[in-house]
Amino acid sequence: MKRIVFILALYLMVQFACKPSTEQSTSQADTLAQESMPKVSAEEQALIDGYSKLFGVLPSKAENAANPSSEAKIALGKQLYFDARLSKSGNISCNSCHNLASYGVDNLPVSLGHKWQKGVRNSPTTLNAALHFVQFWDGREPDVEAQAKGPETNPIEMGAPHPQFVVDRLKSIPEYQQQFDAVFAGDSVTLTYDNMAKAIGAFERTLLTPSRFDAYLAGDAQAITADEKKGIETFKAVGCTTCHIGPLLGGNMFQKFGLVKPFTTYKISNDLGKAAVTKNEADKYMFKVPSLRNSTRTYPYFHDGSIWNLEQAIRIMADTQLGKQLTDPEVRDITNFMATL
């Protein structure tokens, strides 16, 4: 009997000694991945370092201290994002205009809302939106939580007559009441319009899309092609980085659309932009600079969705914003770079 116990103990000791811990396994995997990554030349590393300072790497999280997330809150927010019962008709959800199957947009010039009414501006993507410095084209809301309270009661969008209409409908669904009770257990009243928006916001804060460009900035020189690398340099040389900088390549400032040449040249709608909110003459035609991430998939372009072709959009931006007429090779270079995003 003692011999059996001794052999069993010896076997377990050997197994434990040979089995790496999860931490060791992860560390070894990371080391192997780094070793298998081709070495970057000093010249290219200098370029990468310069790009990193100009753009930066997309953050891995988009947290809001005022709205701490949890798995349950994110799950509730996702459910609400796809639930058409937040609209008066029961036919329109957040995903209707910000379809996650098509990169967070509906690929329409302007979205169709309540009673098939048309909006006046192109629906921007919800992907990476939580990292923008303000929300909406005119910047009228500070974050995705505040933004999430707008569409439900907009008569053109989801058509609910008032916030309580939405709350009452959610309260009529026992499962929702249970979920809100669990997620917002510390609140005296759990199922509120604000908490609905907090849950949706928590979900939208997970919609981050790291790309091949981020892998390149992290040191993977083969993550993008030679043509795409050339595109970065053209993008810089032309002057696109005047506005499209930072991890989102945009989304961090306002700019006048038609800075050098009036955009009415292209028969784009006479939207006053930020001035429609502030009533300030200096804000006329000022719009939030859009992020270029996923822009090869989030057509049509501009605040009114008037341009379907990316190459045409690039030419218009160079002309109206920089006063430059781009050559075909320059447009091709910039398009190649944008494909890495």
Catalytic residues, by residue number, are 157
Q: Are strands 254-256 and 286-288 parallel, antiparallel or unpaired?
A: antiparallel
Q: What is the residue-wise DSSP string for 49-102?
A: HHHHHHT-PPPS----TTS---HHHHHHHHHHHT-GGGSSSS---HHHHS-GGG
- Please, which residues have CB within 8 angstroms of residue 173's CB and are 6 or more apart in sequence? 85
Collapsing DSSP to helix, strand or coil, 254 comes out as strand
Q: What are phi and psi of 204, to 5 degrees?
A: -65, -25
Q: Say which DSSP state 321 is in.
A: I
Question: For the chain, how are helix, strand and coil distributed in percent, rounded to 5?
Answer: 50, 5, 45
Whether the Cβ atoms of residue 334 and residue 314 lie closer than 8 Å to each other: yes
User: Residue 288 forms beta bridges with which residues?
Assistant: 254
Give 327's Cβ-side CA count (13 Å radius): 6
Count of beta carbons in the 10 Å neighbourhood of residue 9: 10
Rounded distance, CA 167 to CA 122, Å?
A: 28
Distance (Å, whole) CA 67 – CA 157 = 25
